[in-house]
Amino acid sequence: QSDDGEPSRTSGMPTLEVLRGAGLKNVCCVVTRYFGGTLLGPGGLVRAYTAATQAAVASAREAGQIVEMTSVVPVDVHVAYPQYEQVLRLAQDSGAKVSDTDYADAVTLHLVFKAGEQEQFCAKMRELMAGREEIEVGAPKFAEF
């Protein structure tokens, strides 16, 4: 507890503080401590829980298991082969991630944008294609980006 009698944020919830410090939200972390006969005291417990949580977060980052979830908009773009590279560059410069590409009589780029960022791309495509663009904008959904 702090001097004013309130529980200290760092001593009362070390696991939560590590998660907040790492910028993580909407996650669950369970630390299990098996008693080995040594009393650690409050400070020792805080250090033990903090170290365990930091190790778990570091391991998850190294393994690529921490992902950003946000509102995303899928966008499919159909272009002729000669325009493919230019449209791909425009999409990447606009913040899109390419989720898949289909090669048939034309190229279909399956793109994903953070919600709202697709609008600038669509406007640039209309300008580039002089109104002949073939774009299908899907409904926003909550997904990994």
83, two tokens: 């325009």
What is the pTM for the complete model shown?
Answer: 0.62
Provide the pLDDT for residue 108: 96
Confidence of residue 1 (pLDDT cuts 50, 70, 90): very low
pLDDT in tens, 53-66: 999 999 999 998 88
Architecture of domain 69-144: 2-Layer Sandwich (3.30)
Percentage, residues of the chain above pLDDT 70? 92
Predicted confidence (pLDDT) per residue in 26-60, tens digit: 888 998 888 888 888 888 889 999 999 999 999 99
Domain positions in the chain: 9-62, 69-144
